[in-house]
Amino acid sequence: MPFKPVFLWTDVLVYVLLISAVVFIVSVRRREHLLAPWRKVARSPYGMCALVVLLCFLLVGLLDSLHFRARLDSKDNQGRANYAAKVLSMLDVLATPLRARTEKTYSEPLAVYSFAKETVTKADGTQSREFPRLRHAGTHLSNPLEQRYSDISRRVMGGVGLAAGLWIAFSMLAATWIAQNRNASFGTTVTQMIRGESGIPWRAMLITLGLLLLVVCPVLMLSARYHVFGTDKVGQDVLYQTLKSIRTGLVIGTLTTLIVLPFALALGVMAGYLRGWVDDIIQYVYTTLNSIPGVLLIAASVLLSQVWMDRHPELFETLTERADVRLLLLCVILGITSWTGLCRLLRGEALKLRESDYVQAAHALGVSHWRVMVRHLLPNLMHIVLISIVMDFSGLVLAEAVLSYVGVGVDPSMISFGTMINNARLELAREPAVWWSLAAAFIFMFLLVLSANLFADSVRDAFDPRMRSGWSLPFRRRLALAAPPR
């Protein structure tokens, strides 16, 4: 094989999560009563637009979760192939030009000359201080000062053209697929979509996709020859860093919930349903954990895990694996400190449900406690679990940034939004200021968290009508609802 697959711990868990999501979707599709709230989500324009953006982030994150080590040309003594010590991901391969083309130090977005002056020795032996050409950006231009703008605008136009082509192709495909699904003609489907009468807000979703393509394609075209977001202190492309950060954020946001769930579900349901001394003990445990200031507990646990990892270097084959285990530990620690909130919610709801008629009926029929909890309580608590999962996601992405800034987040060698901000935060004080690293981290983080927030809102509106946030309803309908009663 030309490569050796590497399964990092977080990769495996990400796959598990992906598979269980697919299983969940398949099982929901078969049951009408479970499907109903999801239909509501699918009709919410904000939620679905956010989903389009989220799926793009997810795609990048998944590509970055397929790791391998490339085979080297040399062989070892026994004739077996040697593999590179560096673990790469699919995303790294796709973004090889971005990853490999490092400059000496800072360069501005789309620049062709370096950001700092250097002493250059000319052909005739004289030395002078000037801004040297960058090693990898705009090297195809013979006279960059004159050609740069026309080259950039040509590339942007090319990108826009590509985006338009892709968008039209994709819209056609979508329309054909919907038309086939509904047994309608292609023409009527397109008219419905344009008028926004298709139930699922295809029009809004396609517009979102179009806007995304309009940004992504020109950036793609430009990144072939320029550093679109500039380079950082060690000359690494900032666009590449932001792409790599996406996976870290997604992993923290999703895997933490995976760790929270079993704790919160088991303990919450048991406390609420069994009551008595079980309730007392569980309440005591979560009050105690809750009363410890969260950041301190996380910081302390991360430090301890770091000491443990320093003492056992033999467990990790590569630096990437080490950083990955630290990421997983961070998820575990965040999970352990944050299951208490969900647990308390579930306990309260279980207390209420245990008095309901169907549980009484189950008791009368002689159903065991265990079975009542699993078959009767659990399914009726799932909406709370789901709401809290989607609501917590964005908070966890933000928490990662703060923790990494404080120095107790992910491994410093791992690229994440937090480490990016931490590395860049003193650059604003430079003269002239280096702003692009922060700006790039800001834009990507904002997009990710905003779309997660919007999607979470529409999920909550669909599953918990009482807590209506009130703005994912179409505007006119909201007016009707909110008018003072006669």
Partner 1 sequence: MLAYLIRRVLYAIPVLIGVNLFTFALFFYVNSPDDMAQMQLGQKRVTPEAIEKWKAERGYNKPMFVNAGAKGSKKLTDTVFFQKSASLFYFDFGTSDDGRDIGYEIEQRMWPSLAIALPSFLAGLACYISGALILAFFRATQLDFWGVVLCVAAMSVSGLFYIIGGQWLVSKLWHWVPISGYAGGAESWRFVLLPVLIGVAGGAGASARLYRTIFLEEMGKDYVRTARAKGLSEAKVLFGHVLRNGMIPILTGVVVAIPSLFIGSLVMESFFGIPGLGSYTIDAIQSQDFQIVRSMVFLGSFLYILGLILTDISYTLADPRVRLR
Displacement of CA 179 from its chain's centroid (Å)? 32
| Residue 281 in contact with partner 1, rule: CB under 8 A | no
What is the CA angle 461-466-471, rounded to 5?
40
| Residue 313 in contact with partner 1, rule: CB under 8 A | no
| Residue 315 in contact with partner 1, rule: CB under 8 A | no
| Residue 309 in contact with partner 1, rule: CB under 8 A | no
Q: Name which of 349 and 457 has its Cβ closer to partner 1.
A: 457
Among 118, 382, 467, 474, binds partner 1 (CB under 8 A): 467
Q: How far is the CB of 337 from partner 1 (least distance, A)?
A: 12
Q: Name which of 24 and 284 has its Cβ closer to partner 1.
A: 284
Q: How far is the CB of 123 from partner 1 (least distance, A)?
A: 42
Q: How far is the CB of 382 from partner 1 (least distance, A)?
A: 23
Q: Name which of 12 and 281 has its Cβ closer to partner 1.
A: 281
Stretch that binds partner 1, among 100-108, 200-208, 218-226, 441-449 (CB under 8 A): 441-449
Among 96, 288, 356, 368, binds partner 1 (CB under 8 A): 288
Q: Name which of 79 and 432 has its Cβ closer to partner 1.
A: 432
Q: In degrees rounded to 5, what are phi and psi of residue 385?
A: -60, -45
Stretch that binds partner 1, among 52-60, 151-159, 346-354, 449-457 (CB under 8 A): 449-457
Cβ pair 227, 137 in contact under 8 A: yes
Instruction: State the Cα–Cα distance between residues 226 and 477, nearest whole angstrom.
Output: 48
Q: How far is the CB of 63 from partner 1 (least distance, A)?
A: 24
Q: How far is the CB of 466 from partner 1 (least distance, A)?
A: 8
Stretch that binds partner 1, among 87-95, 209-217, 324-332, 465-473 (CB under 8 A): 465-473
| Residue 443 in contact with partner 1, rule: CB under 8 A | no
Among 134, 222, 387, 445, binds partner 1 (CB under 8 A): 445
Q: Name which of 23 and 307 has its Cβ closer to partner 1.
A: 307
Q: Name which of 11 and 457 has its Cβ closer to partner 1.
A: 457
Binding mask 394-433 for partner 1 (x = CB under 8 A): x---x--xx--xxxx--------x---x---x--xx---x
Instruction: State the Cα–Cα distance between residues 163 and 216, nearest whole angstrom.
Output: 8
Q: How far is the CB of 57 from partner 1 (least distance, A)?
A: 13
Instruction: State the Cα–Cα distance between residues 114 and 137, nearest whole angstrom.
Output: 10
Place of tokens 């038309």: 179
| Residue 453 in contact with partner 1, rule: CB under 8 A | yes
| Residue 21 in contact with partner 1, rule: CB under 8 A | no
Q: How many of the other CB atoms lie within 10 Å of CB of 449?
A: 20
What is the CA angle 63-19-325, rounded to 5?
60
Place of tokens 């909890």: 373
Q: How far is the CB of 251 from partner 1 (least distance, A)?
A: 17
Among 64, 103, 349, 457, binds partner 1 (CB under 8 A): 457
Cβ pair 105, 233 in contact under 8 A: yes
Using CB under 8 A as the binding rule, the residues of this chain from 289 to 308 that contact partner 1 are 290-293, 295-297, 299-301, 303-304, 307-308
Instruction: State the Cα–Cα distance between residues 346 and 261, nearest whole angstrom.
Output: 11
Instruction: State the Cα–Cα distance between residues 403 and 299, nearest whole angstrom.
Output: 8
Binding-site size, partner 1 (CB under 8 A): 54
Q: How far is the CB of 482 from partner 1 (least distance, A)?
A: 4
Binding site for partner 1 (CB under 8 A): 284, 287-288, 290-293, 295-297, 299-301, 303-304, 307-308, 394, 398, 401-402, 405-408, 417, 421, 425, 428-429, 433, 438, 442, 445-446, 449-450, 453-454, 457, 466-471, 475, 478-479, 481-485
